[in-house]
């Protein structure tokens, strides 16, 4: 399954274009632009499973670097600052990784 089975390709492309410049990525804005914030909790869980590249049940910092590439293979990697800010915004229990519930809370907030 790919994210384009949940989100429209045009919405993904537009969201990626909005954060092309280094240090311009904002998770909340990205989720709104790509349409994920308007999806059902079940769809957000499906998206999480796709983004959890190693199927560990968590999105770790290393996976976050390549977050945009999971949406579009040609997208850039997140900068170290963006990765840390994303983790900080979503990691409610401070365990250094993002669980499915934390991800859903950030996306649907």
Write the pLDDT tens digit of every residue in 36-72.
999 999 999 999 999 999 999 999 999 999 999 999 9
Question: For residues 40 and 86, what is the distance between their CA atoms, to the nearest angstrom?
Answer: 22
| pLDDT band, residue 1 (cuts 50/70/90) | confident
Per-residue CA distances from 24 to 42, 59, 78 (Å) = 28, 21, 9
Categorize the per-residue pLDDT at 9 as very low, low, confident or very high, splitting at 50, 70 and 90: very high
pLDDT, one tens digit per residue, over 25-37 is: 999 999 999 999 9
pTM to 2 decimal places: 0.94
Residue 53 in 3-state DSSP?
A: coil
């Amino acid at each position: 399954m790919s994210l384009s089975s949940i989100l429209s390709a045009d919405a993904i492309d537009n969201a990626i274009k909005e954060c092309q410049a280094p240090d311009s990525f904002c998770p909340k804005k990205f989720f709104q632009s790509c349409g994920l914030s308007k999806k059902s909790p079940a769809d957000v869980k499906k998206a999480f499973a796709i983004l959890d590249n190693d199927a560990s049940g968590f999105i770790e910092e290393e996976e976050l670097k390549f977050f945009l590439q999971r949406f579009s293979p040609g997208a850039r990697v997140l900068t170290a600052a963006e990765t840390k800010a994303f983790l900080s915004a979503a990691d409610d229990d401070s365990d250094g990784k993002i669980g499915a519930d934390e991800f859903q809370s950030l996306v649907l907030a």
